[in-house]
Chain A
């Protein structure tokens, strides 16, 4: 299931570089449609849905800015629109379009994957498909610390400001207090890492290889077909460049 989605992202990324812009536009819309309607790809939470909508706005705005900027600044080539002080060149518009379509296709594919796959499921998938224990444990611990650090930063701010740290003073004062805030955060992270290595070892982590019995997940047909698509595209691109 997750394997299929990973294959889909790979497929879109290859298409973004291998296929002409027009075809990419088709895949871009396909990615949008999948993201909206196919249950497999639908955002997994309300918050994820909000992020998806926000991303669509970002992508639209970014594409518009990219096209206009490049149209403005690419001087040579045929002038499409001449507003006296400002000229829009064809080549600029084309470059802008090509770049923004590629960007939106690749970003949408990535976003659709992450917004429909909770990170803990991704970690479980990696673990069960034999990924090294380091990868899954760092990913899971990062999620744990990501929840705890914002509150730690609040506490550090409170403790240091109570000792007169000029966190709200002029730029020089604020810059000086940067270290008095980041210092405790980094030092306590280093010390806690040492303590945690004891605690993890005392409960048998990292487990010796023989204890990590893993069953390989069979790749589904859709996953295989996407990978085949990727191979086809790469082959076509190479063949085209040699001709």
Chain B
């Protein structure tokens, strides 16, 4: 199993209640899971638990069979690459290529140049490889943060709202990136409300509400669980909604 959560509870220091309460699920490799829930439902807590940024109050988390207990984040980064929403929080290298090479250099991966070129090609950034990251548009900078995670060759990749602020051409590229990664056997966990964009890729939907797991199933089960999912703010693709309405 690429990711295993076994009855995990987590609480931030001096927080009134648990951010996550006995959550259990397992996600296999070469799969794509969509993590949904309103702000504060515990989505980012779950992601931070995966790479050891936060330590659980109770329960066990295993990434690629390796328990995260006691392992520093910089070591877990070889198993789980996490990409956050705001590119400005991580871009600092003088060129796009150096930026993508930052992760692999920290992990001391062999054959860094190949990984970097492969990641740049996958994300369509080869033509701008030697430009400064801030020469790129915001959408391209988001793809750059994805490329720098891909280059780390980690079995598990987590993305926080990867398609926020992207327009149609970039969304299509994001779709090819994710389907290629999935085909390569990676496990992808994506936080997003946009079911429509990722529907064809999604194997599992995990819905959180108030820190507890309210739905863990395949997308086809979505229509009967609509009331639960609607509470978590999932934005159904327009055409799905109309079709469901017509079929009722």
Contact = CB atoms under 8 A, between A and B. Distances in A.
A54 interface: no
A187 to B, nearest CB: 6
Sort chain B's interface into a size bin: 20 to 34
Interface stretch (A55-63, A82-90, A131-139, A154-162): A154-162
A196 interface: no
A180 interface: yes
Most buried by B among A158, A162, A168: A162
A162 B88 contact: no
A211 interface: no
Contacts of B218: none
A162 B92 contact: no
Contacts, number: 71
Q: Is the interface of A mostly helix, strand, loop or mixed?
A: helix
A163 to B, nearest CB: 4
Nearest to B75: A164
B72 A159 contact: no
A161 B107 CA distance: 11
B152 A184 contact: no
A184 B88 contact: yes
A167 interface: yes
B84 A166 contact: no
A164 B77 contact: yes
A110 interface: no
A164 B152 contact: yes
Contact of A163 (B48, B72, B88, B148): B148
Interface of B: 48, 51, 53, 72-74, 77-78, 81-84, 86, 88-93, 102-103, 106-107, 134, 148-149, 152
Given A162-B77, A164-B103, 13 more contacts: A152-B89, A158-B84, A158-B89, A159-B84, A159-B89, A161-B53, A161-B77, A162-B73, A162-B82, A162-B84, A163-B152, A166-B106, A184-B92
